[in-house]
Structure 1
Amino acid sequence: MVFDAHRRAFAFLGGVPNRIIYDNLKTVVDTILVGKERQFNRRFLTLANHY
């Protein structure tokens, strides 16, 4: 649902923002590592790389 909402928003807005900040959203972040390091969800990375 989150990924579909992103796709719809990007289509509606006619583009994508330069930066989106997530607050460790479980759909986006699988594991919090040391400091600011994160292990991102594979499906999220696929979406991010697409756009």
Structure 2
Amino acid sequence: MAATIRYHEGDISEPDAARYRGAIAIDTETLGLVPRRDRLCVVQLAPGGGTA
């Protein structure tokens, strides 16, 4: 199964925002383990229901 990758800079579009209404899963990655020091580099959103 191939994933669809959407790149967003700033706010997400209205159609994509509608997809995530209700519950949303958020996964983040940083460049280290200290949140105040290490930059956020990846944010992944999933609408739930076992999809990623």
Alignment TM-score > 0.5, same fold? no
> Which has the larger share of strand?
2
Larger radius of gyration: 2
